[in-house]
Structure 1
Amino acid sequence: MALADDIQMAERHVLLAEQHIRRQRARIAALKRHRLPRGKASNFLQLLEDAQSMHLQHLSMLLERASRERTAAESAAAVSLGAE
């Protein structure tokens, strides 16, 4: 899989995780309004937030790698042009 594809996949994971977290928070709010237990729902929210943290770290790592590769390619191109 190409780096650009990996970045797109990681971005999708981040967006999906945001949706899941938003929905879980809404569920917890509904449970609270109805004075129902929220412990397991809150624990699951924590898992979702932990996963989101990993998604964001992964995306950041991929973007840094892409930036390094772009910089290296630009440097190589500049050296190549200077040699002509």
Structure 2
Amino acid sequence: MKAKTFEQQFDEGVDITASLDLSKAKRVLQVQKRVNVDFPAWMIDSLDREASKLGVTRQSVIKVWLAERLEESASNTSRRRMRAEGT
């Protein structure tokens, strides 16, 4: 894909992640910390189905979904704070 097409799609809000090679992408200054979480069997089954459908690991699905939810929550908190301050 040419850079101009890539930029145009990005500017239009098109999901361009399929056009990127993320195999060596790194998030700078992000420390990894291992945690153990227990999930009900039905949830593991659902996560595995979604991971299989997307062609990724269960862990990847969990990480992306949690990150999306945390970003959404932070955005909602900012909006509520701005409304409370009258901006």
Which TM-score band (shorter chain)?
0.3 to 0.5
> Could you state the TM-score of these two structures normalised by the residue count of structure 1?
0.39
Tell me which protein shows more helix as a share of its residues.
1
Higher relative CO (CA 8 A, sep ≥ 6), structure 1 or 2? 1
Rg larger in structure? 1
